[in-house]
């Protein structure tokens, strides 16, 4: 009958887990003072990070006359950029971990709806304003 193609959907982690961060670019400047922490990070910690994460392509580029920046590129085509000006190496490490953990998806506001579900409740959530008032 209809020659519709059946779609297959990836369930990351069910079989193989593919880290969504594919590349991280570290930009630094030799002259500006805000880069001090970044330069120390690049001297001390970055090699360890790159060795521990072979699936992330780590690129270090000079970018003169700018604040230090870390750019994460993801498999969904998006990128996340974090300026790490005036940060100490341990703070930069935290930002690097943040970028690694991200999926690259746009940030969703989770404060408005506390419950995320594919199935809404059948009869609605109880509300005191929509019940019968107490009668004496």
Q: Applying CB under 8 A, which residues contact another protein? A: 1-2, 5-11, 14-16, 18-19, 22-23, 54-59, 61-64, 75
Distance CA 98, CA 2 (A): 46
For residue 81, give both structure tokens.
């950029």
User: Smallest gap, in angstroms, from Cβ of residue 122 to another protein?
Assistant: 16
Minimum CB distance to another protein smaller for 15 or for 124:
15
- H or E element: which one contains 61? strand 57-62
User: Smallest gap, in angstroms, from Cβ of residue 38 to another protein?
Assistant: 16
Distance CA 23, CA 75 (A): 9
Judge whether 82 and 99 are in contact, CB under 8 Å: yes
Minimum CB distance to another protein smaller for 40 or for 62:
62
Burial class (CB in 10 A: 0-12, 13-18, 19+), 36: middle
Minimum CB distance to another protein smaller for 56 or for 92:
56
User: Smallest gap, in angstroms, from Cβ of residue 60 to another protein?
Assistant: 11
User: Smallest gap, in angstroms, from Cβ of residue 53 to another protein?
Assistant: 8
Minimum CB distance to another protein smaller for 31 or for 109:
31
């Amino acid at each position: 009958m209809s020659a519709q193609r059946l779609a297959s959907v990836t369930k990351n982690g069910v079989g193989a887990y593919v880290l969504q961060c594919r590349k991280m670019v570290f930009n630094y400047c030799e002259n500006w003072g805000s880069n001090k922490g970044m330069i120390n990070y690049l001297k001390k910690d970055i090699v360890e990070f790159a060795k521990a994460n072979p699936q992330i392509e780590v690129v270090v580029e000079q970018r003169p006359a700018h604040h230090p920046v870390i750019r994460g590129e993801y498999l969904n085509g998006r990128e996340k950029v974090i300026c790490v000006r005036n940060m100490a190496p341990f703070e930069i490490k935290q930002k690097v971990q943040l970028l690694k953990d991200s999926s690259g998806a746009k940030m969703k506001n989770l404060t408005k709806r506390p419950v995320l579900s594919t199935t809404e409740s059948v009869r609605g959530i109880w509300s005191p304003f929509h019940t019968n008032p107490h009668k004496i």
